[in-house]
Amino acid sequence: MFVDKVQTEGLAHFSYVVGDGTTAAVIDPRRDCAVYIDVARKRGAQITHILETHSNEDFVSGAVNLAEATGAKIYHGPAPDAAHYAETTREGDTFMLGKLTLKVLETPGHTDDSLSFAIYDRSFGKEAIGVFTGDALFIGAVGRTDFYPDRAPQVAGLLYDSLSKLITLGDQTIIFPAHGAGSICGDNMADRDFSTIGFERRNNPMLKIESREEFVRHKLEEHHYQPPYFRLMEKLNKTGMEEAPELRPPPLTIDEFLKAREDATLVDVRNTSAFLGAHIPDSLSMPVDTVAGFAGWLLEPEQSVILIADDEQQASLTAQHLARIGYDNVVGYLGTSLPAWAAAGQDFKSITTLDVEEVERDWREKHERQLLDVRSIDELAEGSIPGAQHIYVGELPQRLDELDPHQKYTVLCASGVRSTIAASVMARAGFSDVAVFMGSMGAWQQAHHKTA
């Protein structure tokens, strides 16, 4: 009897292969789903069931593709939109895999169709030994409940009830959530890989809240960002999406690149330093490990994309990240380094970096540059620089009109990565003088003897 976790970097998404003997189920598969077949095979099992804890909004589901590849059946909670590809399953339904039983618990709140699946070992006792909690219960946190703004208090209350139901499974129950620290599907998750109902009951701040009312009040005060691509995911996960394309963008010669760029967005996935040092004019900075987090904010799904990458591996990894959130239009990547690009007579740009002394001098004395803080609103609570304007990097494309293209800006975030992304957005929009505060709030707080 096994539970194998498949982790999707960037999205901090956890899917699972659970099984016993020769049969297995997959919980919440992602789009590139060959990995599940691999995992099951290593366990000597075949995938017979695909279970979704809810309609995911932050990635493209692989349920339909996996079902086609394996012949397994898909089960989903009560949601009209899922009915055409999945059988509806409800409270109390059970699935048998060898001596393992999965039992359905309806646990709405995060979404109306949210399910949990409790794990029983029929050869050992009657208590649950584990539970897949989807986006209802995380380690150290609980799911967000802001997807139905018109009935926010109601769904927050539903989540409270669902969590109460999960607690009744007993302290001995190991929890297997759908996300870990770093996901935008919940706040303040613990950076720990394992927990139990018993441990969460005593230590999860949201489970320690005693009254339903207080729980709801607390939920209503939370702030969450919703990247525009969430809408796309909702749509795609209703209609189903075809299998991911070949995730190996071809290298482009400079001539091919020049031709292809006319219809494409340029996305530079090299690291932040490299973008600052030299980049192709009008390209967006989006280091490869930020792609899962920011492509959904900064790119249009239907738009063709050309990558500027260090090598094929980095380009492929980017294409994989993009495909997982439904962006399939990567045309290729520039098969040439920036020095070679420049040596071929092509234009390049750099971005000025400022260190903490330079930023502070301007802030105290010269007042030539407007500080722009692009961190998320939650991070402001950890400290900020007086006078800095705040726009979250993800919202920047929609809110550029709040800024003045002729003003000189110094962009900051926590370190310099997101401020470089923001600076690239602004440079592309024609801002004439945008510098990056390298080190950003980290350096600022070090310089002012405060801990970040």
Within residues 300-359, the interface with its own copies by CB under 8 A covers: 310, 312, 335, 337-340, 342-348, 350-353, 355-356
Cβ 367 to its own copies shortest distance, Å: 23
Which lies closer to its own copies via its Cβ, residue 152 or residue 274?
274
Q: How many residues bind its own copies (CB under 8 A)?
A: 81
Per CB under 8 A, does 290 bind its own copies?
no
Q: In angstroms, give the least distance from the CB of 333 to its own copies.
A: 12
Catalytic residue among 393, 413, 427, 436: 413
Residues 243-262, interacting with its own copies (CB under 8 A): 250-251, 253
Q: Mask: binding to its own copies, 405-424, rule CB under 8 A, as x and -?
A: ---------xxxx--x----
* Cβ proximity to its own copies, 103 vs 238, nearer residue: 103
Give the residue, chosen from 130, 143, 186, 326, that forms a contact with its own copies under the rule CB under 8 A: 130
User: Annotated catalytic, 413?
Assistant: yes
Shortest distance (Å) from residue 49 CB to its own copies: 16
Q: What is the rounded distance in angstroms from the CA atom of residue 95 to the CA atom of residue 119?
A: 10
| 3-state SS string for the chain | CEEEEEEECCCCEEEEEEEECCEEEEECCECCCHHHHHHHHHCCCEEEEEECCCCCCCCCECHHHHHHHHCCEEEECCCHHHCCCCEECCCCCEEEECCEEEEEEECCCCCCCCEEEEEEECCCCCCCCEEEEECCECCCCEECCCCCHHHHHHHHHHHHHHHHHHHCCCCCCEEEECECCCCCCECCCCCCCCCEHHHHHHHCCCCCCCCHHHHHHHHHHCCCCCCCHHHHHHHHHHHCCCCCCCCCCCEECHHHHHHHHHHEEEEECCCHHHHHHCECCCCEECCHHHHHHHHHHHCCCCCEEEEECCCHHHHHHHHHHHHHCCCCCEEEEECCCHHHHHHCCCCCECCCEECHHHHHHHHHHHCCCEEEECCCHHHHCCCCCCCCEECCHHHHHHHHHHCCCCCEEEEECCCCHHHHHHHHHHHHCCCCEEEEECCHHHHHHHHCCCCC
* Interactions with its own copies, residue window 23-52 (CB under 8 A): 41, 44, 46
- x/- map, 202-241, its own copies, by CB under 8 A: xx--------------------------------------
Binding segment for its own copies among 102-110, 118-126, 394-402, 403-411 (CB under 8 A)?
118-126
Residue 182 makes contact with its own copies by CB under 8 A: no
Cβ of residue 422: shortest distance to its own copies, in angstroms? 13
**Shortest distance in whole angstroms from residue 345 CB to its own copies:** 3
- Residue 452 touching its own copies (CB under 8 A): yes
Closer residue to its own copies, CB minimum distance, 176 or 409? 176
CB of residue 356 vs its own copies: minimum separation in angstroms? 8
Q: How many CA atoms lie within 13 A of 127 on its CB side?
A: 11
Contact segment (CB under 8 A) with its own copies among 72-80, 127-135, 364-372, 394-402 equals: 127-135
Which string of x and - marks every residue 76-105 that binds its own copies (by CB under 8 A)? ------------------------------
Which listed residue (196, 265, 318, 410) binds its own copies by CB under 8 A?
Answer: 196
Q: Which residues are catalytic?
A: 413
